[in-house]
Amino acid sequence: MSWQVLSGTLEQGLMYAIMVLGVYLSFRVLDYADLSVDGSFTLGAATAATLIYAGFNPWLATGLASLGGLAAGAFTGLLHTKFKITPLLSGILTMTALYSVNLRVMGRPNIPLLRMRTVFTDFAQVPWVGSYSVLLLSFISVTVLGILLYLFLETEIGVALRATGDNEHMIRSQGVNTDAMKILGLSLSNGLVAFSGSYVAQNQEFADVSMGIGMIIAGLASVIIGEVLIGTRSVGRTVVAVIAGGIIYRFIISIVLQLGLAPTDLKLVTALIVITALVSPAVKKKLFLPAFRK
């Protein structure tokens, strides 16, 4: 693997790790498989690209993109809590609706950002940064967001949020409005995802309406890889684990591509990674524990 591929993969890994933080928040902390991620990732990219293309400040565009994600997450949360739609279906509904919303936002299926001013070109102006702009800014962003997420999960509200994912009945009997917690958690989760999407669009210098397809599975794969390799003993460790998982996942994808697989096969590879991770405990049991004969 050349240095260029290596650093490119690392940059992408750091950027996508922000999305993985979001997936961790919904999938693990809230125990909610939220498929709106596929739509909100694209929403972040589409919003940022459209605004930048129209001449907005890229930092402002990134902020607004994240707010869009927050709103999308809140919408999923409302569907689930107020109208009692199942978690999976709520996510699918938001994801489907967002596909049209994203096309509306962009006005066309893709927007190029070639040689436009982005957060990365801005950051490159800082002394000593130069060509390390993408790497450094992504690293700083994921680190700051990871620390903020960790600190949040250790606050009173954060503890209540985690308990909502663990034992809803119990935390309600301790006086917590679990509906509000779910809406809050899903908002923050999708906000992070949209933030990540806006970075990815600015880095690859285009936004495309289908760039979010399969994002949730990539996120799940990353969370699982991180948890298996680094562990989940404490919240802080798990946050570090899922960030690392996001980076490692990108490297796996990169290696698979280097081996000559077509980019179109990536979704299959990702699905296989998740299936392997989900099946392995069951396989282990089958192999090492006595079982009933068929």
Residues that bind another protein (CB under 8 A): 152, 154-160, 162-163, 166-167, 169-178
CB 221 within 8 A of CB 140: no
3-state secondary structure 10-58: HHHHHHHHHHHHHHHHHHHHCCCCCCCHHHHHHHHHHHHHHHHHCCCCH
| Helix or strand holding residue 78 (H, E) | helix 58-83
Q: Tell the smallest beta-carbon distance from residue 88 to another protein (Å).
A: 22
What sign has the CA pseudo-torsion 119, 120, 125, 129?
positive
Residue 115 or 169: the one with the smaller Cβ distance to another protein is: 169
Nearer to another protein, 163 or 207 (CB): 163
For residue 224, the minimal CB distance to another protein (Å) is 16
Report the nearest approach of another protein to the CB of residue 1 (Å).
38
Taken in order 24, 87, 95, 40, is the CA torsion positive or negative?
negative
- A 10 A CB-CB count for 104 gives 9
Q: Which CB sits closer to another protein, 127 or 175? A: 175
Q: Least Å distance between CB 232 and another protein?
A: 9
Whose Cβ is closer to another protein: residue 19's or residue 160's? 160
Structure tokens at 37: 């991620």
Which residue, 133 or 178, is less far from another protein as judged by CB?
A: 178
- Tell me how far CA of residue 59 lies from CA of 104, 122, 146, in angstroms: 22, 9, 19
Q: What count of Cα atoms within 13 Å lies in the side-chain half-sphere of residue 28? A: 21
- Alpha-carbon distances of 121 from 102, 117, 163, 278, rounded to whole Å: 25, 6, 42, 40
Task: Closer to another protein by CB, 160 or 241: give it.
Answer: 160
CB of 163 to another protein, least distance (A): 5
Own/partner pairs for 152-156, CB < 8 Å, 24+ apart? 152/188, 153/29, 153/235, 153/239, 154/235
Task: Report in angstroms how near the CB of residue 179 gets to another protein at its nearest.
Answer: 9
Distance in Å, CB of 178 to another protein, minimum: 7
- Nearest residue (CB) to another protein, 118 versus 238: 238
**CA atoms within 13 A of residue 96's CA, in its CB half-sphere:** 6
